Amino acid sequence: MIRFENVIKYFGNTKALSAIDLEIKHGEFISIVGLSGAGKSTLLKLVTGEERADEGRVLIDDIDIAKVKVSDLPYLRRKIGMVFQDIKLLPKRTAFENVAFAMEVSGHKRDRIEKEVPKILELVGLLHKKHNFPNEMSGGERQRIAIARSLAHRPALLMADEPTGNLDEVNAAEVLDLLLKINKLGTTVILATHASDLVNKIKKRVITIEGGRVVLEQERGRYKL
């Protein structure tokens, strides 16, 4: 689904990514771990086309992102859902309306929205909170609503950039479980995080980056003895 071919990315004199070669298949769950500044977010931004590679190629379903016109990037992005550490829900809208709004923006009709939103809220386990506002929910619940929102346009790929960064251990584990469930239902998931202990537990593919380089690739996390 995604291929990085010898990708190099500079920000001024900073080499944020050097010689990244990576292939992510449809239906995979992959975690990108590394310290602050390692290049995790940059890697994700190259997939959405928010940043462009200085050398090498980034391909999504065999389409070279560098060759996609800026005006066509929205079409590419329809394949992708994004979740971030800082959860920016609309504060004056309920859980239902937050997800509905995302569907409106992607052009869905009202009757479709009325049918779809409860299904997505059910998937994230928060249908019972549909009339609640963000400030009436826990951090973990808010993040699960943000994930629901990112699924509103039914993306083939979900990318989560440090989605558990502001959460305690219990809420973080719930968010991770939800990402695993979404993956099981067929969505490719890329998780970028510092939380290597968390990803080691789930026994999925882990890529470790350090100073913009892949330093370790593990097929099933690390087994703690």
Ligand X SMILES: Nc1ncnc2c1ncn2[C@@H]1O[C@H](COP(=O)(O)OP(=O)(O)OP(=O)(O)O)[C@@H](O)[C@H]1O
Return the number of the residue (3 or 194) whose C-beta is nearest ligand X: 194
* Per-position b or e across 28-48, b if 16+ CB within 10 A of its CB: bbbbbbbeeebbbbbbbbbbb
**Of 13, 20, 68, residue with least CA distance to 208:** 20
Contact, 153 vs 81, CB < 8 A?
Answer: yes
What is the number of the residue whose Cβ is closest to Mg ion?
A: 41
Smallest separation (angstroms) from ligand X to the CB of 192? 6
Smallest separation (angstroms) from Mg ion to the CB of 158? 16
Return the number of the residue (32 or 117) whose C-beta is nearest ligand X: 32
- Please give the residue ranges that form the binding site for ligand X (CB under 6 A): 11, 14, 16, 34, 36-42, 194
Return the number of the residue (33 or 152) whose C-beta is nearest ligand X: 33
Two tokens at 24? Answer: 């992510």
Cβ neighbours of residue 133 closer than 8 Å, sequence gap 6 or more? 91, 92, 93, 94, 95
Subset of residues 7 to 46 that bind Mg ion, contact rule: CB under 5 A: 40-41
Choose from Mg ion, ligand X, none: what does 204 bind? Cβ within 5-8 Å by kind.
Answer: none
* Cα separation, 131 vs 146, whole angstroms: 15
Return the number of the residue (102 or 209) whose C-beta is nearest ligand X: 209
- State CA 5 to chain mean position distance: 21
Choose from Mg ion, ligand X, none: what does 34 bind? Cβ within 5-8 Å by kind.
Answer: ligand X
Considering the rule CB under 5 A, would residue 94 count as an interface residue with Mg ion?
no
Choose from Mg ion, ligand X, none: what does 11 bind? Cβ within 5-8 Å by kind.
Answer: ligand X
Smallest separation (angstroms) from ligand X to the CB of 209? 7
Contact, 96 vs 117, CB < 8 A?
Answer: yes
Return the number of the residue (21 or 114) whose C-beta is nearest ligand X: 21
Smallest separation (angstroms) from ligand X to the CB of 24? 17
Phi, psi of 6 (to 5 degrees): 45, 50
Contacts with Mg ion, residue ranges (CB under 5 A): 40-41
